[in-house]
Amino acid sequence: MLLPGQRLGFWKFVGNPNAKRGFLEGVVLDEGTLRPGVGGGLCQLTNLIYWMTLHTPLTVVQRWRHTYDVFPDNARTQPFASGATCAYPALDLQIENRTDAAYRLSLSVGQTHLVGAWSSDRAPAQAYRIYEAMHVITNDAPAIYMRSNIIRRKVLNLEGVEIGDELVTENHAQMM
């Protein structure tokens, strides 16, 4: 439960992802190279939590983006860099509840998908639509392509009328 005024820190909640604590080996992106590592793949979880949080009135106070764009465009379902990477203990995802309502984070791991939801003790007062703006790919050096964009969110009232448009983040990453 994330009560009004509280902060959720991913690493404070999860702890050190080591083998002694039961974490398994997964894929880690390290300086642009994929390698096996204990706790690898946890950024899939922070990606999900971050994406879900952008659709709530909760405030992301710390988020790190990947320095490399590793996902192909042909199956992309979300804007580039709309996730959040993590690396224990420094690269953390932190979320504050600056509302006057309590929120509960629910997560489960299925055979092929992570499933999550934020729920609240109050009905939503608005909805959010996340979108990408100013998407650019540049060739900065031989065989070095950089991708940049801005992630924004439209705030909609319950009738679907736009009542705000907010900057979420600006992203830059080398394409793999």
Alpha-carbon 136 to chain mean position: 21
> In Å, what is the CA distance from 55 to each residue of 52, 150, 153?
5, 17, 9
Residue 132 has pLDDT above 90, yes or no: yes
**Which residue type does 34 have?**
L
Give yes or no for residue 119 having a pLDDT over 80.
yes
Q: What share of residues in the chain are helix, strand, coil (percent, to 5)? A: 15, 50, 40
Single out the residue of 131, 144, 142 nearest to residue 173, CA to CA.
144
Q: Which residues contact 24 (CB under 8 A, 6 or more apart)?
A: 38, 39
Question: Mean pLDDT over residues 109-133, rounded?
Answer: 94
Task: Write the pLDDT tens digit of every residue in 19-70.
Answer: 999 999 999 888 778 899 999 989 999 999 999 999 999 999 999 998 888 7
pLDDT tens-digit series, residues 76-89: 888 888 999 999 99
- CA-nearest of 68, 58, 71 to 144 is 68
Residue 82 has which token pair? 């709309």
Give the strand pairing for 68-69 and 162-175. parallel
